[in-house]
Structure 1
Amino acid sequence: MKHIIAILFSFLTITVHAQRISKPAMDTLNTLQDTLRELSYNIIHGKEETVRERTNDEFIPKLVKALKTKHSYYYPFDSIATMAKVYPADSSFRILTWPLEKDNSTFRHYGVIQMNTKDGSLKIFPLFDNSDFSKNTDTVTNHKGWFGCLYYAMIQRRYFNAEYYTLFGWDANSQTSQKKVMEMLTFKNGEPVFGGPYFSFAEDTVRRPTRNRFIIEYKRDAVAALNFNAEMDMVVFDHLISETGEEHKKYTYVPDLDFEGFKWKAGKWVHVEKVFHDALQLGKEPIVAPIDRKRVDMKRPRTAEDIMAEEAEKAAQKGKRKKKD
């Protein structure tokens, strides 16, 4: 509940402060957003990789130009559906990310951290996707060595007067598998630091080394959850197994109806080996059955909870139509 209240307060704060944007600046931002929306559509839907890359090269300077507008932090860019936006509870910054698909069905990600400056001036950290150039995922990096992904959620924790921002990201990855990422973002001397020894397995039956980043990889057509459950006050994710018994082949991994988790303890996320099924609220369980590939929105990653809510809404609307008939 505290987490939900913090998010609502954050968005209310952003809405109120959006009034800081002057009318000329708002007109400029609206015009630039129209251009960015058209470009972003072609980044996703361009038929050839060269077209998508060229469009992305046009998109980046246009976005920077928009961000240079005073107090642009409070402009939501809500009509750019292909660009994910996440905010911490304290509204001290936001992260904008978007994907670029290559012809071989792999993805490169782009993004920027925009700081919320008091005078509304521009302070950003461009994110450079280094995941294609490094096989080691258990790293601690700055914004130039970013593990590229599309962020869909962020939660904030405070420990010993320091702020810790946990990020949840999605990477469509390849033709055969996809990934979800959980990592910590901190700031050291005003600079962003991704990763760190915050994922502990000390309470497991068989102890494993602490990780700097937590990643699950699974079959491309499967649906696996990795997100924070506010009611349980913990991160819950699907336990994965190989459907073919080939544990070294991550593209064969699917959920098996068991759930694991992480609890925040003394400045670390401590692994919980088993989250009992009956501990999950009705309607909150991650979806196990694969979803039709055509229904997967590559622009907007959704949690299992999102998908189930949409299905429930569709069922309700269908019921209303039957009553009218």
Structure 2
Amino acid sequence: MTKKFSSLLLLLCLSLQALHAQKLLPQDEKALRRSQDTLQKVADQMLHGLNDNIKQNALEAFIPKLVRALKTNNSFYFPFDSLQTISIKYPKDSTFRIFTWLQETDNGFFQHHGAIQLNTPDGSLKLFALIDSSDAIVNRDTITSNKAWYGCLYYNIVQTHFFNQEYYTLLGWDGNNPRSQKKLLEMLTFKNGQPVFGGPYFSFEEDTVKRPTQNRFFLEYKKEAAVMLNFSADMDEIVFDHLISEINEPSKKFTYVPDMDYEAFKWKGGKWVHIDKIFHDALPNGKPPIPVPLDMKSKDNTHIQSEEEVQAQKAAEAAAQQPATKKKPGKKQ
């Protein structure tokens, strides 16, 4: 047997082993479906329970049940798609997935919970619990671990690449409190196999007014407002609403609303570079379009003009606005 043939045979065997490792056995899939039914009932109580005690008891029941289900070999390939109140997001390369969910307290504040499950070669469980520490984080523009996580509900993951490293930009929503809500961007990377949240990846170096690079980007706004922050595949940018205070008090984030203008981040050189205005024909301050005001003094309301007269008047007005051109001096011909 030649060395080349032996190498090909070994590669084929390894490929078959990897394919087999990715299969979820029928009996395991059946057991996970039963677990999913139980988890969904408990998850509903976490979100819709009548009071904080019921929600907390549901949480304390949900977490060990979820971990027990995930310990099933190759559970990564079970989608848990019936867990309608749990957000489960995957990057393009499917190297991991993130579970996140929320609890709203009786007084209108939000707490978040989650976990990262790695896609392991042998199908065994590798899980990182996400501990919501947002209330204790004094400086939110910082780099954290999964044990000091800025809690939110993730609704999208944008995977980018730079210099042989993968970057995962997480887009999240935080219900925050009774007066405001938040959306955020943060980078997830892995260092020595451990998740790292945040980093100097949000740059404002191309803005007219320079700002320091941020480790995490936030939008905080009025509770009732609808604010967009998401990745546009057509534009290849993360696009978001430009916000202003509706009462002209910028320090009060709970008064911020969209003004019909848009900003963006573009992936350049291993970071997201801010674009302060992406539609330069946007209307100022969200004002509706209006025609050029009529000069009522020159308007003759006693005469109904024909179409030919209207066009002739427009042509005359346009000609009057053109600058006069001077002839160059020269000899008479």
TM superposition shift of 1:132: 1.1
Distance 2:93 2:281 in 1: 33
Give the superposition deviation at 1:136. Answer: 1.5
Shift of 1:277: 6.4
Residue 109 of structure 1 deviates from its aligned partner by 0.5
Residue of structure 2 equivalent to 1:182: 185
**For 2:135, which of 132, 136, 158 is the aligned residue?**
132
Q: Counterpart of 1:38 in 2: which secondary structure?
A: helix
What is the letter of the counterpart of residue 28 of structure 2? A
Helix, strand or coil: the match of 2:140? coil
Counterpart pick for 1:156 among 155, 159, 168 = 159
Change (3 A) 1:152 1:277: farther
Encode CA deviations 1:99-155: one digit per residue, 9 max, x unaligned: 011111111100000000011000010000010111321010110011000000001
2-side partners of 1:26 and 1:243: how far apart? Answer: 52
Answering whether residue 118 of structure 2 is matched by residue 101 of structure 1, we say: no
Contact 1:259 1:277 in 2 (8 A): no
Structure 1 runs, 4 residues or longer, greater than 3 Å off: 16-19
Task: Give the corresponding residue for 2:196.
Answer: 193
Of the structure 1 ranges 18-27 and 210-219, higher mean CA displacement relative to structure 2 is found in 18-27
The percentage of aligned residue pairs carrying the same residue is 58
Rg larger for = 2
- Unaligned runs of 5+ residues in structure 1 are 1-15, 280-325
State the alpha-carbon separation in 2 of the partners of residues 182 and 219 from structure 1.
18
Kindly report which structure 2 residues correspond to 1:1-325, keeping only aligned pairs within 5 A, or say none. Answer: 20-276=23-279
Q: Indicate conservation of the 8 Å contact 1:67/1:73, yes or no.
A: yes
Cα pair 2:21 2:121 within 8 Å, conserved:
no
Q: Which residue of 2 aligns with 1:293?
A: none
1: CA distance, partners of 2:280 / 2:169: 24
Cα 1:110–1:18 shift into 2, 3 Å: farther
Determine if contact 1:179/1:218 at 8 Å carries over to the other structure.
Answer: yes
Offset at residue 18 of structure 1 (A): 10
Write the deviation string for residues 71-116 of structure 1: whole angstroms up to 9, x where unpaired: 1001111111110011011110000000011111111100000000
Aligned-partner SS, 1:135: coil
Matched AA of 2:104: E
Task: Please report the RMSD computed on the Cα atoms of aligned residues, expressed in angstroms.
Answer: 1.8
Change (3 A) 1:34 1:277: farther
Conserved 8 A contact 1:87-1:154: yes
| Larger RCO: 1 or 2 (CA < 8 Å, sep 6+) | 1
- The 2-side partners of 1:243 and 1:196 are apart by 32
Q: CA deviation at 1:271?
A: 0.3
Kindly tell me the number of residue pairs found equivalent between the two proteins: 266
TM-score, normalising length: structure 2: 0.78
Q: Is the 8 A contact 1:18 1:75 kept in 2?
A: no
